[in-house]
Amino acid sequence: MRIFTVGDFDFALPPELIAQHPASERSASRLLDGTGAQPTDRIFRDLPALLAPGDLLVFNDTKVVKARLFGEKPTGGKVELLIERVLHGHEVVAHMKVSKKPPIGTPLAMQGGFSATLLGRWPHENGPLFRFRLSDEPHAMMERHGHVPLPPYIEHGDTAEDVQRYQTVFAKNPGAVAAPTAALHFDEALLAQLDARGVQRANVTLHVGAGTFQPVKVDDIAQHKMHSEWYEVPAQTQQAIADVRKRGGRVIAVGTTTVRTLESWASTGQASGDTAIFITPGFQFRIVDRLVTNFHLPRSTLLMLVSAFAGYDRIMGLYRHAIAHRYRFFSYGDAMLLMKAS
């Protein structure tokens, strides 16, 4: 079996192919069909014709929260928090961007008139994140005073367009700091077409964390420590998967976060909890048959996941095709349809 290093997942991307804004219509994005012998260029609204009656599409119904908050230290120094997780008793876990870390116990004055008191690091005393206590209910403070946590490669501040379009049309459970981007291409008209074709739908929840954008920095990818995210596979989704298996249909995951959720459940038997599953070539997929996904960052865990799913050589060929044919990349970019490698 081939041994991969992080350099195997690098590629050169012209900067102008990084989408800074969404397509004019959600389902008007391009779709690279990678299920045939040769790549086929399509439009995303062609998807229903590529699926069969009785297939099951599984979506991630997480809802992006306005998790980016700005404030200042008592000294006047600027601080930025990106809330990764809401705990209990007004406590949150966050990334902190600051020139000099304030001492534990320091209250930060946040824009909007509330405070965030630093309690320590998380999940342990040398952990990468920080634990804060807000002076008011966290979700309410984020909704009123927060900003859409756009990815680092999107170069504009959040706007009204981002409030609407960096969110799926079926988002339900608040908690993500990054959108499940493959699902951004679905609009109500496309969902109606899928229903009319007899394609079934089900949901899981995985609250996408900011770690999804972190590149792998170690050469030996087996040494990479994966970030942890909370997930849930509801009982009705478990039953829908069992039913589609009985009738010989296929499970199509919408997005890598859905793949991570379903395969975490399959490998652990746990229908909810935290997952740090790291899917790399050689992984044995137990649930997902096909995958709808966007184009991912070089050297990223998500590029490794799709390479594990569809085959490394096939993915690299599809990426070369996408670059040559000027597909749009990353969160606001175009999509692919992939088939599990035999």
CATH code, domain with 114: 2.40.10
Q: For residues 166 and 292, state if they share a domain.
A: yes
H or E element at residue 235: helix 235-246
Residue where a domain stops, chosen among 145, 175, 206: 145
CA angle 196, 30, 245 (to 5 degrees): 45
Locus of tokens 């099951």: 56
Query: Cα separation of 194 and 178, whole Å?
Result: 26
Q: For residues 30 and 165, state if they share a domain.
A: yes
DSSP bridge partners of 103: none
Write the CATH number for 172. Answer: 3.40.1780.10
Q: For residues 72 and 39, state if they share a domain.
A: no
Supply the pLDDT for residue 1. Answer: 75
Structural domain range at position 80:
68-145
Q: How far is CA 226 from the centre of its chain?
A: 14
Q: Helix (H) and strand (E) counts for the chain?
A: 8, 17
Q: For residues 326 and 191, state if they share a domain.
A: yes
Q: For residues 139 and 35, state if they share a domain.
A: no
Q: For residues 44 and 77, state if they share a domain.
A: no
Residue 226, SS3 per DSSP: coil
Supply the pLDDT for residue 5. Answer: 96
This prediction's pTM: 0.95
Tell me how far CA of residue 13 lies from CA of 19, 70, 227, 323, in angstroms. 12, 32, 25, 7
Backbone torsion region of residue 112, taken as left when φ is above 0, otherwise alpha when ψ lies between -120 and 50, otherwise beta: left
Mean pLDDT per 10-residue section of the chain, whose length is 342 residues: 93 98 98 97 98 98 98 97 95 96 97 97 91 97 97 96 98 96 98 98 96 87 92 98 96 98 98 96 97 97 97 98 98 98 91
Q: For residues 243 and 329, state if they share a domain.
A: yes
Residue type (1 letter), 45: R
Residue where a domain stops, chosen among 87, 118, 145: 145
Q: For residues 230 and 93, state if they share a domain.
A: no
Q: For residues 192 and 316, state if they share a domain.
A: yes
